[in-house]
Amino acid sequence: MGIFDIFKSKTETKQIGTFNCLSLAGKWDTGYKTDTKGLVKFIKKNIKDGTLEKVLDHKFVDEKVNDTMNKVKTPTQGNIYIPSNLINSEFPSTRGFKIIENNLIILNIDNDQNYWAKKIDYQGDIRSISFQFVELDEDEYKLLKPFEKKIMKKSESLVKTWGDLYDVIYKGLFETEKRKKYPINSFMSFLGFEEV
C-alpha cells in the first residue's frame, strides 16, 4: 500500500489529541544519536516522583478540520495541517508541512506509541514528535512557493494540496544532489505524552 492509497478509504477521522512534550534536542538527541536509555531512566524517575508535568515544556494540540485533515497547534511554529488517515496507520509518521519565506518546516508525529509503551508505563500514548527545518535556496523556494499559501488554507481540497506538496518535497526537492547530501539544516525533537 502506498501513502496515497490511505486516502482512498473512508475511515472515522482520527485525532492525536493533546500532547505535553519534553524537548530532547541537545540533551538526549544529538541528531546523530539518541540516548534512549538515559531518556527512559529520566522519565521513569519523574513519573515515580510525580514530577513529570513539571519537566514537560511544550504542548501540541490536534483538532479536526474536516473529514480528511487535522490542524496541529504547535508551540513554536504555529498551526500545521496533517492528514488524519495517517494517524495510527501503518506509516511510520504523520507529516505536516509549512513554507515560510525561504524555509520549509516539516512536522513529524510518529506512530510509535507501541514502542514507547514497552519502555515506559504511562496512562496515555507516548509519541516521538519532531520538526525538520530546511533553509531553501532560490531554486528550492521557487519549487515550493506555489504551495506556500495553499497548504495553510482550510478547504475540502487541502488533502490534495498536501499530497501534491508531499510529492514535490520527497520526489523532487529531496532527490536533488544537494538534498541527498544535506537533507535538512536543523531540527527540534520532543517526546510527547498524551494529556489524560
Lowest mean pLDDT among 4-8, 10-14, 61-65: 4-8
The three-point CA angle 176-182-187 to 5° equals: 125
Nearest CA to 77 out of 95, 63, 98 is that of 98
In a domain, 33, yes or no: yes
The answer to whether position 132 is within a domain reads: yes
For CA atoms 45, 49, 50, 53, give the dihedral sign: negative
Whether residue 11 has pLDDT greater than 80: no
Tell me if 7 is assigned to some domain. Answer: no
Percent of the chain with pLDDT over 90: 81
Q: Is residue 156 part of a domain?
A: yes
CB atoms within 10 A of CB 22: 20
In a domain, 147, yes or no: yes
Band of the pLDDT at 196, cuts 50, 70, 90?
confident
pLDDT at residue 45 tops 80: yes
The model's pTM: 0.91
Residue of 10 and 56 predicted with greater confidence: 56
Percent of the residues in the chain that have a pLDDT greater than 70, as a whole number: 93
For residue 61, being part of any structural domain is answered with: yes
* Confidence grade of residue 1 (pLDDT, cut at 50, 70, 90): very low
- Answer whether residue 42 is part of any domain: yes
Does residue 109 fall inside a structural domain?
yes
Give me the domain span that covers residue 178. Answer: 12-194
Please write the tens of the pLDDT for every residue from 152-192. Answer: 999 889 999 999 999 999 999 999 999 999 899 999 999 99
The pLDDT confidence band at residue 2, using thresholds 50, 70 and 90, is low
Number of separate domains in the chain:
1
